[in-house]
């Protein structure tokens, strides 16, 4: 199964613990938790352009009655036996809890939570794609005045596309009919697997009236959700011969420091102190080349985008002049190079930006090739008549003649194999 490539990459990088594959529960290690936190932080930074977000967390046990009032139909949730009192649901959704938070605090949103969701599931699942315990599950809720839903959909489309671009993941947004009448409008943010097949990374709903009434809301309610599948896609797309290469927005270490000889470790640390906002890690100093290369591999396998090495010779037999040898290891693709001297903070920023651009460009190549056959024009009549296997309407609307009848139409995303996720 090609999807498991991402799981191996995340395991090897030390982001996941070596348990849980197939059990439907993924176990994250410390560095993985940092990456998740950076994923959420990057999203929140972009949400702030719409309105300042507030974060919250909900208890694991959710009273059955308030859950059932909003979600009466879902059978795939875990419940505790009822006993004497009303029963409990093991947290199966965040929407009603987010809305309860907004009501309690008087905040209008956006409110964002990152807690996990538990769902019943048949079979063994796929790590971060289909799981019993879905974590992280990022869910945003935003109350808006009636009539402003369209504008909000457009704003969140841009937030999601820009968040994914920061992770080196190209995306387009399609409007689809919401499953099970969940939303009045539904936007799916579509990226692609490494082989170019499209896959859904985020959903945005303008909630349907039935839900707004159950939640007791006037006006509009926007619900945005995405999961750790975003990191699975990043792991699928971004690796080279060193292993996983994280986009700089996600990497716990952006710049690995590789000392070699003399007082190079102190010199590297001093140099790195002059790089504001860059997350660095200093490898242990080693004399033997194979140890230095192993230290480099260890740092880069953890996802660090760039490594800088410094060799210092205290050669006192000649003229007592210290010689410096600065090296850089770039990634995507992996390549070692000499540097004329210590890079400036601007040089380091340019290295990180260049690396992020290469990741995004490589993924965009796969995305464009994968979706080339699937983006077509369709007129309203052919869409309504299902003459064309339309998966969704591409937003924003882009005029394109209908591929079936030639009438004026708009760009749509096709799916020959029905609905994909």
The residue ranges that bind Zn ion (CB under 5 A) are: 379, 382, 402, 404-405, 407
DSSP 109: S
Rounded Cα distance between 4 and 351, Å, is 30
Q: In this complex, which beta carbon is closest to Zn ion, that of residue 85 or of residue 386?
A: 386
Residue 375 · residue 401 · CB < 8 Å: no
Q: In this complex, which beta carbon is closest to Zn ion, that of residue 53 or of residue 409?
A: 409
H/E element holding 51?
none
Closest separation between CB of residue 391 and Zn ion, Å?
A: 16
Q: In this complex, which beta carbon is closest to Zn ion, that of residue 236 or of residue 394?
A: 394
Q: In this complex, which beta carbon is closest to Zn ion, that of residue 230 or of residue 382?
A: 382
Closest separation between CB of residue 418 and Zn ion, Å?
A: 20
As a whole number of Å, the CA-based R_g of the chain is 25
Closest separation between CB of residue 387 and Zn ion, Å?
A: 7
Closest separation between CB of residue 380 and Zn ion, Å?
A: 8
CA atoms within a 13 Å half-sphere pointing along the CA-CB vector of 151: 9
Q: In this complex, which beta carbon is closest to Zn ion, that of residue 36 or of residue 388?
A: 388
Both tokens of 79, joined, read 């419940």
Residue 413 · residue 172 · CB < 8 Å: yes
For the CA atoms of 388, 389, 393, 397, the dihedral, rounded to the nearest 10 degrees, stands at -30
Closest separation between CB of residue 381 and Zn ion, Å?
A: 6
Using alpha carbons only, what angle is made at residue 219 by residues 215 and 222, rounded to the nearest 5 degrees?
70
Closest separation between CB of residue 399 and Zn ion, Å?
A: 13
51 Cβ contact list (under 8 Å, min separation 6): 108, 109, 110, 142
Closest separation between CB of residue 379 and Zn ion, Å?
A: 3
Q: In this complex, which beta carbon is closest to Zn ion, that of residue 27 or of residue 387?
A: 387
Q: In this complex, which beta carbon is closest to Zn ion, that of residue 363 or of residue 382?
A: 382
Buried b (16+ CB within 10 A) or exposed e, 48-81: eebeebeebebeeebebebbbebbeeeeebeeee
H/E element holding 203?
strand 198-207
Closest separation between CB of residue 372 and Zn ion, Å?
A: 20
Q: In this complex, which beta carbon is closest to Zn ion, that of residue 382 or of residue 394?
A: 382
Residue 153 · residue 175 · CB < 8 Å: no
């Amino acid at each position: 199964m090609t999807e498991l490539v991402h799981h191996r990459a995340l395991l090897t990088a030390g982001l996941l613990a070596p348990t849980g594959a197939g059990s439907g529960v993924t176990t994250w290690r410390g560095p993985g938790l940092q990456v998740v936190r950076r994923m959420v932080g990057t999203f929140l930074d972009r949400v702030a352009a719409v309105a300042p977000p507030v974060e919250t967390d909900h208890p694991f046990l959710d009273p059955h009655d308030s859950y059932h009032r909003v979600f009466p139909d879902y059978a795939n949730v875990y419940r505790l036996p009822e006993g004497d009192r009303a029963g409990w649901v093991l947290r199966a959704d965040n929407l009603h809890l987010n809305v309860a938070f907004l009501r309690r605090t008087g905040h209008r949103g956006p409110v964002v939570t990152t807690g996990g969701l538990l769902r019943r599931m048949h079979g063994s699942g796929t790590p971060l794609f289909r799981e019993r315990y879905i974590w992280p599950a990022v869910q945003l809720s935003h109350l808006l005045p009636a009539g402003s839903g369209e504008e909000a959909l457009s704003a969140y489309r841009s937030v999601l596309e820009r968040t994914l671009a920061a992770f080196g993941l190209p995306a387009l947004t399609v409007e689809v009919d919401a499953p099970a009448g969940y939303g009045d409008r539904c936007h799916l943010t579509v990226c692609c697997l490494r082989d170019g097949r499209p896959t859904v990374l985020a959903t945005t709903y303008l909630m349907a009236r039935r839900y707004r009434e159950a939640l007791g809301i006037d006006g509009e309610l926007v619900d945005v959700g995405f999961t750790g599948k975003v990191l699975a896609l990043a792991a699928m797309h971004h690796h080279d011969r060193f292993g996983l290469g994280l986009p700089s927005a996600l990497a716990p270490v952006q710049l690995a420091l590789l000392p070699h000889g003399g007082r190079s470790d102190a010199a590297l640390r001093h140099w790195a102190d002059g790089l504001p906002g860059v997350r660095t890690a200093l490898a242990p100093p080693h004399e033997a080349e194979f140890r230095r290369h192993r230290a480099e591999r260890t740092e880069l396998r953890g996802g660090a985008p760039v490594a800088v090495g410094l060799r210092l010779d205290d050669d006192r037999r000649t003229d007592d002049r210290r010689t410096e040898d600065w090296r850089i290891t770039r990634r995507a693709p992996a390549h070692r190079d000499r540097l004329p001297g210590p890079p400036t903070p601007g040089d380091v920023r340019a290295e990180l930006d260049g690396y992020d651009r290469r990741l995004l460009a490589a993924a965009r190549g796969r995305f464009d090739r994968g979706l080339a056959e699937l983006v077509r024009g369709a007129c309203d009549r052919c869409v309504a008549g299902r003459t064309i296997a339309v998966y969704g309407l591409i937003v924003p609307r882009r005029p394109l003649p209908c591929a079936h009848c030639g009438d004026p139409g708009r760009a749509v995303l096709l799916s020959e194999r029905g609905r994909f996720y």
